[in-house]
Amino acid sequence: MSDGAVLHVRGRVLVGPQDVRDELWVVDGRVSFTRPPTAGDVRTVTGWVLPGLVDAHCHVGLDAHGAVDAETSEKQALTDRDAGTLLIRDAGSAADTRWIDDREDLPRIIRAGRHIARTRRYIRNYAHEIEPGDLAAYVRAEARRGDGWVKLVGDWIDRDRGDLAACWPGDALAEAIAAAHEEGARVTAHCFSAESLPDLLAAGIDCVEHATGLTEELIPVFAERGVAIVPTLVNIATFPDLAAGGEAKFPAWSAHMRRLHERRYATVGAAHDAGIPVFVGTDAGGSLAHGLVAEEVAELVKAGLSPAEALSAASWGARAWLGRPGLEEGAPADFVVYAQDPRADVRVLADPRLVVLRGRPVG
């Protein structure tokens, strides 16, 4: 599409779960619901339109061994984009990906800085590995480097115990999360088990990643305080293989991981039913491939969310949670067009007809 051309989308524009329009226009890279007065060079497409999808737990610039180069980061971002993911919350990366902000053809990224973990209690080359006395200082620094988020590693395997264990004492968490909030940043934490959750809640955590350890006692507290979860069910699906690999050395940990996996859908379903905000995240960029957003939405449906609720977790609701616009008059034209109604079958998300980023068709 040439500069100055107008894109006209006809069909069903899903502005919100209950707000459906018949058409939209893209003029100068912006959404409009009014036909422009002069629309000479017009490209018209038809279909079902959603705001650009959101992956709220994605690691651009990271692979299983740590930071990757710019070429690899670009391929990761392009893979996500072509799957319809146009907004990413990068939940921890050791690479500097600020250069992506200058690329008109790559998704927007909201960064949480680098992971902050306890010494020797996380994946090698991923995190700042520190002790509790330094936690608040590192959180404050990452809050200033990021885009309104900080990422903690709340629990990991304790080799002496042979099982998952919380990484931080409650007083250190309280000081650190208060520091992040003073800097205007929200805090999220990687958590598999239940043990780490009470201290994080008491300290004022804003979000929990994975959240497989949620219990009947903790779920109402999460709901009351509005603490969101990003379940990353496509990642939780790998737990049996992880458990098998560690069983000989850490049998208690392996058994724990299997239990968390077995109840994963029930855990997410109970959280959603209680009113806990649930958002889509794939955990791409570690050992998982990019471009899995459609699979994660389908997993949420398996966990009991309705198709419309699962779509919201990857579009309308997720964008509002992250403070980014959807399909609004004058908003940047970031959207995806599908041949069929994704509310009827979320598997439609796996086959975008057209991806529009900053007003331009891409891919």
Measured distance CA(302)–CA(264) in Å, rounded: 10
83 and 121 share one domain: yes
From first to last of its 363 residues, what are the pLDDT tens digits of the chain? 445 578 999 999 999 988 999 999 999 999 999 998 876 688 999 999 999 999 999 999 999 999 999 999 999 999 999 999 999 999 999 999 999 999 999 999 999 999 999 999 999 999 999 999 999 999 999 999 999 999 999 999 999 999 999 999 999 999 999 999 999 999 999 999 999 999 999 999 999 999 999 999 999 999 999 999 999 999 999 999 999 999 999 999 999 999 999 999 999 999 999 999 999 999 999 889 999 999 999 999 999 999 999 999 999 999 999 999 999 999 999 999 999 999 999 999 999 999 999 999 997
165 and 90 share one domain: yes
357 and 232 share one domain: no
Domain hosting residue 28, numbered range: 6-50+326-362
157 and 294 share one domain: yes
Measured distance CA(168)–CA(341) in Å, rounded: 45
16 and 146 share one domain: no
331 and 311 share one domain: no
Please report, for the domain that includes residue 271, its CATH number.
3.20.20.140
340 and 209 share one domain: no
Q: What is the total count of domains within the chain?
A: 2
210 and 348 share one domain: no
* Number of residues written out for the chain: 363
175 and 203 share one domain: yes
CB 321 within 8 A of CB 304: no
This prediction's pTM: 0.96
Task: Output phi, psi for 225, to 5 deg.
Answer: -90, 0
330 and 276 share one domain: no
Q: Within 10 Å of residue 137's Cβ, how many Cβ atoms?
A: 13
Measured distance CA(291)–CA(221) in Å, rounded: 33
237 lies in some domain = yes
Please report, for the domain that includes residue 342, its CATH number.
2.30.40.10
